[in-house]
Amino acid sequence: MQEIQLLDAIERYLRGEMNSEERAAFEQLRKNNAEVDERVVEHTMFLQQIDQFSDWKNFRSSLHDVHNQLINNGDITEAAPKATVRELWKRYKRIVAVAASIAGITAVSISIMAYYFTPNGSISEIRQLSQQLNEVKNSQKQTSKELFDLKKSTHSPTAPAKVGGTGFMIDGKGYLVTSAHVVVNADSVYVQNIKGDYFKAATIYSNKQTDIAVLKITDSRFQPFKTLPYTIQKSQADLGEEIFTLGFPRPSSEVVYNRGYLSASTGYNGDTLTYQIAITANPGNSGGPIFNEFGDVIGILSGKQITAEGVVFSSKSKNIFSALTDIKKDTTNNERIKLPTSSHVQSLSRTRQIRKIEDCVFMVKSY
């Protein structure tokens, strides 16, 4: 309460609202009481502060008014557009420059590195590719050429044969004998000589019992043999007789020679149609001719016993004769097969025998 009265007194004193009596009393109080005097000075300062503040505020608000009014009147214009973008640009110019140069250096070094590391490889790759393209082109050319050649010369089938065997000529006009099991399920049969020429052949006779089949080369490109170097033996071969064979156990047209002996005059379970022979035989040897030491055909290689080692069976050569008889009997075809009558290899050495015989041995491929 005292404080408020004092404040009121000070304010009234400062504003000159006191009458002369009161004023004198207050001035007396100030003189006597240092504390009151201090308060008066302090409050005067504070009120001045407030005054100045209010003045400042008023002036500022009037400045705002003037500003807005002048803007509205168009006496001054705010040059806004220049500001922000340029300001930003100016402010970050250095940073942008540094960033840009870093990016530039990075890009350049990356491209240099790329230049150093990649081009050799890629160029050679490109070259390789073009080479490959050329190769593809060439191989295509070759293939088409081959295809053309094949059409022209050989009718070799492109797919691998289902069954392969061996066959041998019994008549120079193009008749061959092979095993029946080689061609039994064949859609078509091709024969290939040791030179690698293919000829299409037809099965004209097949006997499962004797395991003999007779083929005829139907290909027009086949040039008939005038004579055959060997004869077909009609009589029974002797036990212990030395024998040899030629066959195509390999997928290539490489003829393979093997030799052995006649170990029994009957075959499996006493089969009188076959001999048992001791010879190294492999799949592909089937249908191969079994020659005696004079180069006469005594049998046709047929198969081997899986349960016993070195036991091979051969169809007897006299079965060829019965086959021919059967063919003659068949009225539906008019094949005239004339078996060779004289041997040209009788007194020759084995190698020379083989050299003469091998032309008449064919690889049989059934599809």
Partner 1 sequence: MKTDSTDEKLLLKGLAKNDRKCVETIYKRYYNMVQSLIINNNGSSDDARDIFQETIIVLYEKAKSGTFELNCQLKTYVYSVSRRLWLKKLQQQQKYLPDVQTLEETVPVEEEIEQHGQQQTEFQMMEKALLHLGEPCRSLIEAFYLQKKSMTDIAGHFGYTNADNAKNQKYKCLMRLRKLFFAEFKNNEG
Interface residues toward partner 1, by CB under 8 A: 3-4, 7-8, 46-47, 49-60, 62-64, 66-67, 69-70, 75-80, 82-84, 87, 90-91, 94
Q: Which is nearer to partner 1, 34 or 79 (CB)?
A: 79
Tokens 């002797």 correspond to 238
CB-based contacts of 266: which residues, under 8 Å, 6+ apart? Answer: 272, 274, 275, 276
- Partners of residue 168 on adjacent β-strands: 177, 361
Q: Which is nearer to partner 1, 24 or 76 (CB)?
A: 76
Tokens 């064949």 correspond to 186
Q: Which is nearer to partner 1, 56 or 117 (CB)?
A: 56
Give the phi and the psi of residue 116 in degrees, each rounded to 5.
-70, -40
Question: Rounded to the nearest whole angstrom, what is the least distance from the CB of residue 24 to partner 1 in the complex?
Answer: 23
Element (H, E) at 272: none
Question: Rounded to the nearest whole angstrom, what is the least distance from the CB of residue 125 to partner 1 in the complex?
Answer: 52
Phi-psi region of 310 (alpha: psi -120 to 50; beta: other; left: phi over 0): left
Question: Rounded to the nearest whole angstrom, what is the least distance from the CB of residue 30 to partner 1 in the complex?
Answer: 19
Q: Which is nearer to partner 1, 52 or 122 (CB)?
A: 52
Handedness of CA 168, 169, 174, 180 (dihedral sign): negative
DSSP state of 274: E
Rounded Cα distance, 367 and 30, in Å: 141
Question: Rounded to the nearest whole angstrom, what is the least distance from the CB of residue 15 to partner 1 in the complex?
Answer: 11
In this structure, what token pair is assigned to residue 305?
Answer: 């016993």
Rounded Cα distance, 178 and 214, in Å: 6
Q: Which is nearer to partner 1, 95 or 306 (CB)?
A: 95
Q: Which is nearer to partner 1, 11 or 330 (CB)?
A: 11
Q: Which is nearer to partner 1, 48 or 142 (CB)?
A: 48
Largest CA-CA distance found in the chain, in angstroms, rounded = 180
Q: Which is nearer to partner 1, 84 or 120 (CB)?
A: 84
Question: Rounded to the nearest whole angstrom, what is the least distance from the CB of residue 25 to partner 1 in the complex?
Answer: 20
CA dihedral 135, 136, 139, 145 (to 10 degrees): -130
The letter for the amino acid at 278 is A
Element (H, E) at 348: none
Q: What angle do CA 31, 32, 38 make, to 5 degrees?
A: 65
Question: Rounded to the nearest whole angstrom, what is the least distance from the CB of residue 34 to partner 1 in the complex?
Answer: 20
Q: 12-17 long-range CB contacts below 8 Å, 24 or more apart?
A: 13/40, 14/43, 14/44, 14/47
Question: Rounded to the nearest whole angstrom, what is the least distance from the CB of residue 39 to partner 1 in the complex?
Answer: 11
Question: Rounded to the nearest whole angstrom, what is the least distance from the CB of residue 40 to partner 1 in the complex?
Answer: 14
